[in-house]
Amino acid sequence: MATLGVHSKKHKVTVVGSGNWGSAIAKIVAENTKAHADLFQEEVQMWVFEEEITVPRTSKHYDAGSKFSTEPHKLTKLINHFHENVKYLPGIALPRNLIANPSLQDSVHDSTILIFNLPHQFIGGLCDQMKDHILPYARGVSCIKGVSVDSEDVRLFSESIGEKLGIYCGALSGANIANEVAQEKFSETTIAYDPPPMDSRNPTPQATTPKGTTPQSSQLDLSAINEHKDTRGKTSKVKLIIPPSELPPIDHSLLKLLFHRPYFHVQVVSDVAGVSLGGALKNIVAIATGFVAGLGWGDNAKAAVMRVGLLEMVKFGKMFFSNSVHTGTFTEESAGVADLITSCSGGRNYRCAKMSVERKVSIGEVEKEELNGQMLQGTSTAKDVYEFLKARGKNDEFPLLVGTYRILQGEVKVEDLPDLMVGK
């Protein structure tokens, strides 16, 4: 287990993002930096996209005689004053060592661990803003679910972040509904982190032998050991910088200490691609499950769709990320089967698909009526995965994923799903 031991420096942690899920993760991390003060600096920075709001009337902090409730104030000021994100995570007390910061560059300054938790469409722009302001040897964890898919390629958000910033970045995903996690209702998650080789070969910190000298083996120049493999087994474009030996190594045990709570159990694996794919493909399966639920076909039908969907998720991962994906990531981990069950039981993709069948309208119409301007991930992912598979002539090998897209397009009826699942 990671301990400070002979390491003389502590890790500084920043959470990039402060929405519903971002604030929930920041709460967990701040609780743990305080609990493990031998490894981490207690204060956690949380970057907040600044906006001005008044305290809502529904908030316990509402006071008609207070300027906070009658005049707009910056969200960061409200968070730091009330120790609560009154807009995105209302009613949840945040640790006092969690500091909301409107400056992206200032919040990431000198941080050795960066946790990304924001809408995926903002990744590129924010990374461009921060890349000249982070430590070159920082490491990251992406809590952004899903992957970027088009006809050309499947890209992991964690690897996109890593390439933009020149760092290594893992991923966190699981059956995690933000409000339930924030309310400390028991749940699990999966962190995927494949430590770069140079991190484990970190030189021993300066120490003296009985003769007063440092062993020669601890003085080796490891600056050339900066290559690592990506999730496809190829040498990454990113040339990593070895973290200073004064810092505790960022490995599975340290990440578990940073994220694990009595109410939020963490399993750490090395399969970054599998964890990321699980967070994307399960949304397509959830739509298919919602379709059969809307027909009133019952739990047997939903279970059948989930079974086939899980098999196709595994097949997709093994086919396109054969060098790193493990079947067990999908069948044993929260990021796989557990997240699939949650999404197919009550997630927004499931609910909107179910309502579209019940109301006999398109899922797009339900999306507009029910989601207050938010977009379903499952519909766009279904389209992207279809085009990716079609470009490779693999449509016939994924009948459920492809069939769900065809239903969304109106090419076939929901009632055809059992036959579509069988394939050719």
b/e 45-82 (16+ beta carbons within 10 angstroms → b): bbbbeeeeebbeeebebeeeeeebbeeebebbebbbeb
Q: Hey, how many other C-beta atoms are within 10 angstroms of the C-beta on 319?
A: 14
Check: CB of residue 162 under 8 Å from CB of residue 140.
Answer: yes
Q: Catalytic one among 282, 302, 315, 368?
A: 282
What H or E segment, with its residue span, contains residue 76? helix 75-82
Closest CA to 274 of 122, 120, 154: 154
Where in 102-250 does DSSP place strands (E)?
113-116, 139-142, 147-149, 154-156, 168-173, 187-192
Burial of 249 (0-12, 13-18, 19+ CB in 10 A): middle
Radius of gyration of the chain measured on its C-alpha atoms: 23
Report how many helices (DSSP H) and strands (DSSP E) the chain contains, helices first: 18, 12
Q: Hey, how many other C-beta atoms are within 10 angstroms of the C-beta on 371?
A: 13
Q: Give the pair of three-digit tokens for residue 330.
A: 């999908």
Q: Give the pair of three-digit tokens for residue 47.
A: 């970057």
Q: Report the C-alpha gap between 231 and 326 in whole angstroms.
A: 11
Q: Is 282 a catalytic residue?
A: yes
Burial of 290 (0-12, 13-18, 19+ CB in 10 A): buried
CA 404 to chain centre: 25
Distances (CA, A) of 282 to 141, 333, 340: 21, 13, 5
Helix (H, G, I), strand (E, B) or coil at 218: helix
Where in 256-386 does DSSP place strands (E)?
264-269
Catalytic residues: 282
